[in-house]
Amino acid sequence: MPELPDLTVFAESLQKLVLGKRIERVVYDRKQQANAEPQALAAAMQGRKLTAVERVGKELLFKLDSGESVLIHLMLTGGFRCSQRQEQVAFAVLTLLFNDGQALVAFDPKGWLKVALNPDLSERAPDALDVTREYLEGMFDKKPKTVVKSFLLDQQSIAGIGNAYADEILWQAKISPKSLVGKIPKDVVAKLALAIPSVLKQATDYLRKHHPGITAGEVRDFLAVHNPKAKTSPSGGPIIVEQIASKKTYYTDEQILFK
Amino acid sequence: MPELPDLTVFAESLQKLVLGKRIERVVYDRKQQANAEPQALAAAMQGRKLTAVERVGKELLFKLDSGESVLIHLMLTGGFRCSQRQEQVAFAVLTLLFNDGQALVAFDPKGWLKVALNPDLSERAPDALDVTREYLEGMFDKKPKTVVKSFLLDQQSIAGIGNAYADEILWQAKISPKSLVGKIPKDVVAKLALAIPSVLKQATDYLRKHHPGITAGEVRDFLAVHNPKAKTSPSGGPIIVEQIASKKTYYTDEQILFK
DNA sequence: ACGACTAACATAGA
DNA sequence: CTCTATGTTAGTCG
């Protein structure tokens, strides 16, 4: 559920809380949804210090002083919680117990959370913050009939955007979510390339300011159009709600349909 | 998606729902995937009554009281829906509005659904229910090096079998899906000729009983081996899952490999 | 020439 | 949220 802005703040929060602490014990027993055996994962982390927590697309990368790293995807319902001592956290999937008695818990009520030891990050799609106009043009030429909303959501094309920010970005760029990418004029593609980082950075700044320290959940109440409480966009366009690409989509007729 | 048993029940369901009704209006605008202009198709159907709905291979043939007919292939994701009045059906491709206010809609999210006016049915491969031992022997002699699973899936060789029922038939006949057709002994070819209609008729009976009236989708949960939930075949053989002929294939080592 | 394999496609369901 | 199954056809590789 959390997308790029939320996860960016999660990473910053966690970095403050756990950086440089030594991992004394690892509790992890789920075999599903991991690329390594529980023992291997525990062995890699135990006794190590965390040197960085970074966002990679919709995932967080925990770097260890051994040079190894652990990548966590929270999926739909996962989150992190930092707790004093070994308090029981509901739906804990992975627990790191530090030398100072604190703990970092990755939890997930649905149990879908994914853990990867030493992931291969070389083959990944560009992060949403790094997307350029040239990249979009190239991708749009390759598969011109893709619906633009689907394109933004495809993590193999751009990493970090989910259902909510896709709507925000398309509203900002004034492109209808149903547009076909091949039909979007060059100058509008340029506008989209600007809107992607712009919307995401603005949201990140908002979260940093109003929700510093968050490590779980999502904040959506400030969004312009992807917002059940809003009746109109900030510029007054009535918000249309519709299922597009199998996702609940909020948009307005201020957004041009290229088809 | 649907195969012979599903489509047989679709045809029966639709026949009950629409037979003898007069078509008042036809809504169809897609030019792609049809052998006739939209206007010609609409003209042929408007004002006509449906006299029969029959399955032909993996397609349904809608016969009109004019002697003309329309053939529809649902492809991967298509289906039919009967609706009261003109309710909006998502991904509608062809809509027939009847004199009693009911409607028959052929829909397809991918838009691949194929429509043919007055198709030529004379050059078709035999329907899976009509296949004989002699026919198989003749075909197997002509191209002896064909993998048997590919053969069953080839609509130019036998019409009506898809990925799921190919696995069911081969399990029933105790033939490994990787067998080369030229290497299958005569008595086993005879067994296969029996298994093809037997498996398909049994499945059709099951669907008629447990899912009467279906006009879309597919039911697969009752299959013996092509079934992700089953660990073993009904006779206890552990199920092997493998990509064969570019298709996900379920089989067991109870099935003999002729190679 | 022949067969085998791949890519393309959009959604539902797990 | 992500992954996978799914049928056909066109095109490529051996």
Footprint of strand D on the protein (CB under 7 A): A 1, 3, 57-58, 73, 75-76, 112, 153, 155, 162-163; B 1, 3, 58, 73, 75-77, 112, 153, 155, 162-164, 220, 226, 247-248
Strands A92-98 and B102-107: unpaired
- Predicted local confidence at residue A123, as pLDDT: 82
Q: Provide the percentage of residues in chain A whose pLDDT is more than 70.
A: 98
The confidence score (pLDDT) of residue A151 equals 93
pLDDT in the model for residue A32? 63
Q: Is it the case that residue A117 has pLDDT exceeding 90?
A: yes
- Give me the pLDDT at residue B218, please: 85
Q: A124 or A214: whose pLDDT is higher? A: A214
Protein residues with Cβ atoms closer than 7 angstroms to any atom of nucleic acid strand C: A 142-143, 145-147, 150, 245-246; B 76-77, 90-91, 109-112, 143, 145-147, 150, 217, 245-246
The rounded percent of chain A whose pLDDT value lies above 90 is 81
Query: Could you tell me the sign of the dihedral formed by the alpha carbons of A150, A156, A161, A162, in that order?
Result: positive
For residue A14, the SS3 value is helix
Residue A79 has pLDDT above 70, yes or no: yes
Q: How far is the CA of B153 from the C1' of C3 (A)?
A: 15
Predicted pLDDT at B33: 65
Å between CA of B110 and C1' of D10: 18
The per-residue b/e assignment along A131-162, b for 16 or more CB within 10 angstroms, e otherwise, is: beeeebbebbeeeeebbbbbbbbbeebbbbbb
Confidence at residue B200, expressed as pLDDT on a 0 to 100 scale: 94
**pLDDT (0 to 100) of residue A7:** 97
Render pLDDT for A151-162 as a digit per residue (tens, 0 to 9): 999 998 999 999
List of chain B residues with pLDDT < 50? none
Contact predicate A114/A60, CB 8 Å: no
Residue B223 CA and nucleotide D9 C1' are separated, in Å, by 28
Q: What DSSP line would sit under B169-189, residue for residue? A: HHHHTTB-TT-BGGGS-HHHH
As a 3-state breakdown, chain B gives helix, strand, coil percent values, each rounded to 5, of 30, 25, 45
Catalogue all structural domains in chain B, each as residue range(s) with its CATH number. 4-117 (3.20.190.10), 128-251 (1.10.8.50)
The pLDDT, as a whole number, for residue B39 is 85
**Cβ pair B73, B160 in contact under 8 A:** no
Whether A155 contacts A57, CB under 8 Å: yes
How far is the C-alpha of A128 from the C-alpha of A202, rounded, in Å? 13
Give the neighbor-by-neighbor strand order of the sheet with B59-64: B50-56, B59-64, B69-73, B114-117
Nucleotides of D under 7 A from a protein CB: 1-9
Nucleotide lying nearest to B248, CA to C1' measure: D5
Nearest protein residue to nucleotide C12, judged by CA and C1' positions: A246
* Confidence at residue B89, expressed as pLDDT on a 0 to 100 scale: 85
pLDDT score at B233: 92
Residues near A176 by Cβ (< 8 Å), separated by ≥ 6?
A: A148, A170, A251, A255, A256, A257, A258
A16-71: per-residue pLDDT in tens?
Answer: 999 999 999 999 977 666 677 788 899 999 999 999 999 999 999 999 999 999 99
Helix ranges (DSSP H) in chain A: 4-18, 38-45, 133-142, 148-153, 163-173, 186-210
pLDDT band at A122 (very low <50, low <70, confident <90, very high): confident
| Beta bridge mates, A58 | none
Q: Look up residue A115 and give its amino acid.
A: V
How remote is the C-alpha of A124 from its chain's centroid? 14
Measured in angstroms, what separates residue A71's CA from nucleotide D6's C1'? 32
Q: What is the pLDDT of residue B122?
A: 87
